Structure 1
Amino acid sequence: MAHIPQFIRDLALILGAAGVITLLFKRLKQPVVLGYILAGLLVGPNFHLFPTISDVDDIRIWADIGVIFLLFALGLEFSFKKLIQVGGSAGITGIVEISCMFLLGYVTGKFLKWPPFDCIFLGGIISISSTTIIFRALDELGLKSKKFATLVLGVLVIEDLVAILLLVLLSTVAVSREFEGMQMLFSLFKLLFFLSLWFITGVFILPTFMKKASRWLSSETLLIVSLALCLGMALLADGVGFSTALGAFLMGSLLAETTQAERIEHLVASVKDLFGAIFFVSVGMLINPALLKQYALPVLLLIVLVVIGKTVFVSLGALLAGQPLKQSVQAGTSMSQIGEFSFIIATLGVSLKVTSDYLYPIAVGVSVITTFTTPFMMKLAEPLHKFIEKILPAKWVTNLNRYSSNTQTLQSESDWQKVVRSYLQLMLSNAVIIIACILLASYYVEPFFEEKFGNILVAKISAVVLTLAITSPFIWALTARKMRGLAYKELWLDSKYNHGALLLLELARNFVAIFCWGFLLNRFFSFYISVIGTLIAMPIVLFLFRQKLEKFYGRIQTRFLDNLNRKEEKQSTPTFWDAHMVEFEVSPYAAYAGRSLQELAWREKYAINIAYILRADKTIPTPSRYDKLFPYDKIGVVATDQQLQVIKPVIENDDFVSVSATDEEKENIGLMSIVIDEHTRLKGLSIRESAIREKTNGLIVGVERNNQRVLNPSSDTIFEWGDVVWLVGDKRKIRENYVR
């Protein structure tokens, strides 16, 4: 019999221990993560009562893979759009909490007379709460539907993103062993540049790739492709100087924007669970009980600081963001612990050998104990709120309530904010693409041409011409693309004093274009040639090819926006709504043929809606009540499964088919939702006053309010903040008018 490698024996030991202990923790209704850590402690080199593993280094390699897959899975749940959706309240709360906790950790380390790197890493360790533990606790206590839970989940999104930034910045500090402000600033700028580049190129390429390859993507193939993309991005991130964990997170967040996101998440779950378990077991293996005993006082001190500090700072941040006192306290008590990202930050310090031996077990000890206290802190929120309200002066409570009310009823962002944001998006997105192309040309294309042609000048000219051909549409967008939008027009027509500021914005984006063109030439030629080439060649090229550049850029922008929104368009209606669109053909023998929708009154009788009528080569989107149905018409019906069972016999059609995804006109008619917020400007208007039908060729089929739904609301229904309005219509017009 062949000899079994020691690594397999070790793996069997840690998985066996993890399985037994996590079963016990399941029985005790405790977080499984803690079971993994305890299993690692029992089979680790610092605990000798049970059999121990013999090769810690091999297990750590698997643990590194576990970190990659954990962050890949986290990215799949993240999505760049979530960051936008969490809103300003979560952003303000998260920034206040993380800043204060990082400072508190650093000051505490100084108080304990720890080395500088220990203080910095301690600040990062106690700044980030556990997404896994909070999700589980909210679910088990039945609090996920509470209003404060939305704020908590939003802050967790902010924390996850900041944790990624911390990993990069801490790695930079640890490697350089210095605290140079310019170097840190450069690292941050470099990170933001690559984040923007990966997001833009990823959204442009990945959804298109997934769509083209969908027919060949079986479950097995999709899993292999997804893991290959994850590891490939991890290698790419490492190649440009970032951590592999950052690359995995980015690829997950990019795949989260595709229509295959949920399927990938389901397929990757088992892989993530396996390697994640090994990672958390390895966390437990590094715990030294002797060090924990030696540093018991710092552990207790940090537990108190984490529980009290996070409760106070999260509550304070929420209050500053305009949340009511009760919800602020509930959010604060819910986030009073640290978790998996703290382990990862602590592991980073160990792997880079910049932190002391005691910091890692202290961090794990604080995390374990605060995890156990999380459910109790959540239950403490109500009495704590009543106690605070009781001891605060009545005038303070009144002012807090007034401040919260005023903040939450603020009108939509000003026209100036919208216009400035549009200009910044235009300049940032195009400049990032142009600079990336220039860097690729200078580092890879020009050396390739030089080797191929054997002439430096020819190689440089060829690289410049190729780069100009690729980047010209984006330079054109910076210089000549018209800024469309109601906000811009209103500002221009509102007052002549706005003209100067708008012209400054125009000059700013043209300056960015000139800088990019000059930067390109300066990478290959002298400064004077760059200046002359920019001033002479740039206007000529943009003028001669303006129409082609405009059309080409328009196609690129359309593809990008379609990819960005494809997931929402292709997703079926949420289970809560449980409605979808199917197609019927009107039989020539149908009794209702030739009658109008008003006469049929199907909407009133059966609560269904007609999304479109397809008659020969003509499509009638969201037909009016006066439109009639004729033999061989095809009608798109929006209804639930139960409603379809009732309406199908009425239509008397045996040819029941799903809506074809190949017909372009029909595909553009669909069921979408919009939220009544500061962007839509519909609060306080009735359905009739909103003119949604006229703007979108759409029909409102339902409104969700306070977890209640109203099917086919009357035209007198008044919109309120937070309403989710479901409408059938032209999806492009709906996005143009109401989706930001």
Structure 2
Amino acid sequence: MAHLPELIQDLALILLVGAFVTIIFKRIKQPLVLGYIIAGFFVGPHFHLVPTIVDTENIETFAELGVIFLLFSLGLEFSFKKLLRVGGYASITAVVEIVFISLLGYFTGHLLGWSQMDSLFLAGMLASSSTTIILRAFDELGVKTMQFARVVFGVLVVEDIIVILLMVLLSTVAVTEQFEGGEILFTVFKLAFFLALWFLLGIYLLPSFLKKARKWMDEETLLIFSIGLCLGMVILATQVGFSAELGAFVMGSILAETTLAEKVEHLTKPVKELFGTVFFVSVGMMIDPGAMLQYGFPIAIVTMLTIGGKFLFSGLGALLSGQPLKQAVQVGMSMAQIGEFAFIVAALGMSLGVISEFLFPIAVGVSAITTFTTPYMIKYSEPFYKWLARVPLARWKDRIEQYATGTEKLRANPAWKVLFKEYIRIIVINSIVLVAILLLFRYAVLPLIDGRIANTYVQYAVIVGTATLVAAPFLWAIVFQKPRCYAYQEMWMDTTTNKSPLIAIEIVRVIIGVLLIGLFVDQLTSTSIALWITLPVILPVILLFSRRIQRLYQRIEERFISNLNERENSLARATNRGRLDQKNEEVQSGLQAWNAHIVEMEVPPLATYAGTCLKDLRWKDTYGIQVVYIRRGENMIHLPGGDHRLLPHDQVGILGTDEQMQLLKTSFESEEDVQYNDMEIEDIALEQVLLQMQHPLVGKSIAHSGLREDTSGQVQVVGVERDGVRMLNPEASLVFEAGDIVWFVGNRKSIRDVRNSGAMERATTGAKVA
């Protein structure tokens, strides 16, 4: 008998047990992640009723791949532009929640007597809420269209990126065992620099390559190429000193900006689910029931900390960002759980060997409890808000609402705010590229030239000249590039108030540019040479060739912007969706103070009101809402009038408050109760029946024959042959005559009953005559 590797047996066991357990969890409507973890417990060393995993080393390798592909998939769904679009309210809420709950988790670990590293990783485990659990609860409770849900989705997007960064910091601290603020600050800056650099290079190069190679890329090639890019970035990230998970996430987020993002996500989904299953099962293998009983007290403490702390700090963050009290309470109660990221953080600590084993059962126990409490927290958030507003916060409610209204006024986008954003964008992005070129020449080009040119000054001239040639477009942009926005033109024309501050800003940016050029040269040569080259040589050269450098920079910038917006432009050309989303965001930001927002809802296929004019629906009078657009396929109807009709599958943009939306929802989702018969395809037949004089159908029209009612709709007339004339699909007014040959289609038994009814009628008539 051939030898079968233990890894194959283990995979068969993991996948089969995982499949059976998740079927049960789907049946009881619980998160599949918990099902995988329980399946892991069944095949682990602490449960002996089923076989146990043998080749744990290879399973751990598969689990590491699972984390990599989970983070790669998260990056594909992420998109850096989505982070920019979620707005300040989501960023403030997420930062406040993560900072305070992490600090609370860290100090709780110390109070429980845990080590410093255990406390740090507990803080990391509490940092994020579960997207999976929240989405499932929103679906079940039907609150996805409410305004607070939009805030929660934005917070989850920001949380994803912050938790990724936290994982990098935790792994750095765990490896170096350095807790000094300077070391951590340096790691943060280093991480931000490499994230920005990878993103800029990836967006500049990758979409262009995919565009040119697309016609040669079938699904198989695209799958292989995507996984290769993911693993390649994993290697690069670990070489630079970051975690493999960060590399996978970054590559996913870069691919998310390409036109092939959806296809890559579709192709890699089975890979992610396979290895992701192995990862979560491997987490469950570490569960020790004895340890969970032993650490029941810490599980209870951390559970209360999670529910209470996340509710308090998420709600506080939402209030600080300018959300009304009601929405702040709803956001806080929605975020009160931990999910899959807690297991990833705990697995990171275990793989590095820096945390205690009891953190796993604690994470699993807390996740299980908060999974069951989340739907109830969301369901009772509004009654809880009413109690808060009526009793504890009655004196403060008006002040909180005034603060939210005032914050909304400040959220308006004045010209100076737009202009400052443009200046910061120009300086930061080009500075990052400049530093990358500097690192490339210092650590790659300079060692190649060093020693090959005898004269030191000639060597300096070659290296500085070459580096300046490469960096010239970005040096020019820092010093001279004008902001591309209407605000700049309007302010420059306003000579009375704005021109002087603009001149001051231009002077400051020139000083920044000169300092950066000096730093650039100083790092490649020496300080004295940098002082003598920067102002007298490099700056005049850049001025002299300014037009050519500007054209080159504009080509680089246009290509980058084209690649960055390629996916959105493609979608916008197909559906106008990109511009529509942008316009919705503008409208919603203006209506925040009114507690109103725009929700897009799809007309059900069997909607009772399908085909009815808007004026006849009277939704505006009944519910107080306004239909602002109807999207039908690729066509858009803006501000539809009363004569416009809603058709099945129309995407309808509705403006209103949460309360109005909830009242409308019942009517909007109402569908006709269509009865479906259980006729099998084999039972359907086409048969002809000759109508004798005594047949009950003779003398009756098709409409009044009772044929449809008598056969429960299972027989229809498709043809009538009369005196050699054939009538296909006769009208309902046709009257049957003796001698007609009628063609029926439908249930074979029902047609037989129609034929036999004529024989029964003849028998009855004969009996009466006798």
TM range (shorter): 0.7 to 0.9
2:269 alignment counterpart: 269
| 1:444-494 Cα deviation digits (max 9, x unpaired) | 122234587798876654443332211101111111223343323444454
1:709 alignment counterpart: 629
Instruction: Decide which moves more: 276-285 or 372-381.
Output: 372-381
1:533 aligns with 2:533: yes
| 1:587-613 Cα deviation digits (max 9, x unpaired) | xxxxxxxxxxxxxxxxxxxxxxxxxxx
Q: Is the 8 A contact 1:36 1:281 kept in 2?
A: yes
2:196 alignment counterpart: 196
Q: Is the 8 A contact 1:319 1:404 kept in 2?
A: yes
Alignment of 1:129-168 (within 5 A): 129-168=129-168
Q: Structure 1 pair 166/301, CA: closer, same or farther in 2 (3 Å)?
A: same
Letter in 2 for 1:675: K
In 2, the alpha carbon distance for the partners of 1:100 and 1:274 equals 35
Q: Is the 8 A contact 2:628 2:639 kept in 1?
A: no
Letter in 1 for 2:216: W
Q: Structure 1 pair 502/160, CA: closer, same or farther in 2 (3 Å)?
A: same
Q: CA offset at residue 307 of structure 1?
A: 1.0
Q: Structure 1 pair 369/673, CA: closer, same or farther in 2 (3 Å)?
A: closer
1:345 aligns with 2:367: no
2:569 alignment counterpart: 569
In 1, the alpha carbon distance for the partners of 2:73 and 2:341 equals 14
Aligned pair count reads: 609
In 2, the alpha carbon distance for the partners of 1:496 and 1:301 equals 62
In 1, the alpha carbon distance for the partners of 2:136 and 2:479 equals 51
In 2, the alpha carbon distance for the partners of 1:42 and 1:394 equals 51
Q: Equivalent residue of 1:509, what SS?
A: helix
2:24 alignment counterpart: 24
In 1, the alpha carbon distance for the partners of 2:456 and 2:42 equals 64
Q: CA offset at residue 674 of structure 1?
A: 3.8
2:62 alignment counterpart: 62
Q: CA offset at residue 380 of structure 1?
A: 2.1
Q: Is the 8 A contact 2:627 2:640 kept in 1?
A: no
2:506 alignment counterpart: 506
2:176 alignment counterpart: 176
Q: Equivalent residue of 2:396, what SS?
A: helix
Q: Is the 8 A contact 2:97 2:310 kept in 1?
A: yes
Q: CA offset at residue 714 of structure 1?
A: 6.9
Q: Is the 8 A contact 1:67 1:344 kept in 2?
A: yes
Instruction: Decide which moves more: 675-684 or 133-142.
Output: 675-684
In 2, the alpha carbon distance for the partners of 1:398 and 1:483 equals 41
Q: Equivalent residue of 2:629, what SS?
A: strand
In 1, the alpha carbon distance for the partners of 2:357 and 2:523 equals 47
1:522 aligns with 2:526: no
The gaps in structure 2 that reach 5 residues or longer are: 593-624, 631-635, 643-651, 656-770
The TM-score, its normalising length taken from structure 1, stands at 0.77
Q: Structure 1 pair 77/449, CA: closer, same or farther in 2 (3 Å)?
A: same
Q: CA offset at residue 723 of structure 1?
A: 8.2
| 1:640-668 Cα deviation digits (max 9, x unpaired) | xxxxxxxxxxxxxxxxxxxxxxxxxxxxx
Q: Structure 1 pair 115/444, CA: closer, same or farther in 2 (3 Å)?
A: same
Letter in 1 for 2:583: V
1:435 alignment counterpart: 435
Q: Is the 8 A contact 1:94 1:317 kept in 2?
A: yes
1:675 alignment counterpart: 583
1:222 alignment counterpart: 222
**In percent, how many aligned pairs have the same letter?**
47
Greater Cα radius of gyration, structure 1 or 2: 2
Q: CA offset at residue 35 of structure 1?
A: 0.6
1:372 alignment counterpart: 372
In 1, the alpha carbon distance for the partners of 2:640 and 2:544 equals 52
Q: Is the 8 A contact 1:447 1:459 kept in 2?
A: no
Q: CA offset at residue 401 of structure 1?
A: 3.1
Instruction: Decide which moves more: 495-504 or 279-288.
Output: 495-504
In 2, the alpha carbon distance for the partners of 1:724 and 1:490 equals 35
In 2, the alpha carbon distance for the partners of 1:424 and 1:372 equals 45
1:389 aligns with 2:384: no
In 2, the alpha carbon distance for the partners of 1:79 and 1:114 equals 37
Letter in 1 for 2:304: V
1:120 aligns with 2:117: no
Q: Is the 8 A contact 2:93 2:314 kept in 1?
A: yes
1:8 alignment counterpart: 8
In 2, the alpha carbon distance for the partners of 1:410 and 1:723 equals 27
In 1, the alpha carbon distance for the partners of 2:189 and 2:104 equals 26
In 2, the alpha carbon distance for the partners of 1:707 and 1:362 equals 49
The gaps in structure 1 that reach 5 residues or longer are: 581-669, 685-704, 726-740
Q: Is the 8 A contact 1:124 1:166 kept in 2?
A: yes
Q: Structure 1 pair 114/673, CA: closer, same or farther in 2 (3 Å)?
A: closer
In 1, the alpha carbon distance for the partners of 2:60 and 2:36 equals 15
Q: Structure 1 pair 393/683, CA: closer, same or farther in 2 (3 Å)?
A: closer
| RMSD (Å) for aligned C-alpha atoms | 2.8
| 1:598-629 Cα deviation digits (max 9, x unpaired) | xxxxxxxxxxxxxxxxxxxxxxxxxxxxxxxx
Q: Is the 8 A contact 2:14 2:281 kept in 1?
A: yes
Q: Structure 1 pair 221/392, CA: closer, same or farther in 2 (3 Å)?
A: same
In 2, the alpha carbon distance for the partners of 1:377 and 1:357 equals 30
Letter in 2 for 1:292: M
Q: Is the 8 A contact 2:202 2:254 kept in 1?
A: yes
In 2, the alpha carbon distance for the partners of 1:713 and 1:335 equals 36
2:243 alignment counterpart: 243
In 2, the alpha carbon distance for the partners of 1:186 and 1:671 equals 40
2:553 alignment counterpart: 553
Letter in 1 for 2:84: I
In 1, the alpha carbon distance for the partners of 2:170 and 2:579 equals 46
Q: Structure 1 pair 724/255, CA: closer, same or farther in 2 (3 Å)?
A: farther
1:42 aligns with 2:38: no
Q: Structure 1 pair 57/90, CA: closer, same or farther in 2 (3 Å)?
A: same
Letter in 2 for 1:353: G
Letter in 2 for 1:145: T
In 2, the alpha carbon distance for the partners of 1:215 and 1:706 equals 46
Q: Equivalent residue of 2:380, what SS?
A: helix
In 2, the alpha carbon distance for the partners of 1:54 and 1:673 equals 52
In 2, the alpha carbon distance for the partners of 1:99 and 1:427 equals 29
Q: Is the 8 A contact 1:303 1:366 kept in 2?
A: yes
1:104 alignment counterpart: 104
Q: CA offset at residue 240 of structure 1?
A: 0.8
Q: Equivalent residue of 2:323, what SS?
A: coil
Q: Is the 8 A contact 1:237 1:246 kept in 2?
A: yes
Q: CA offset at residue 219 of structure 1?
A: 1.1
Letter in 1 for 2:422: S
Q: Structure 1 pair 301/671, CA: closer, same or farther in 2 (3 Å)?
A: closer
Q: Equivalent residue of 1:675, what SS?
A: helix
Q: CA offset at residue 345 of structure 1?
A: 1.2
Q: Equivalent residue of 1:709, what SS?
A: strand
Instruction: Decide which moves more: 316-325 or 228-237.
Output: 316-325
Q: Is the 8 A contact 1:569 1:672 kept in 2?
A: no
In 1, the alpha carbon distance for the partners of 2:546 and 2:148 equals 52
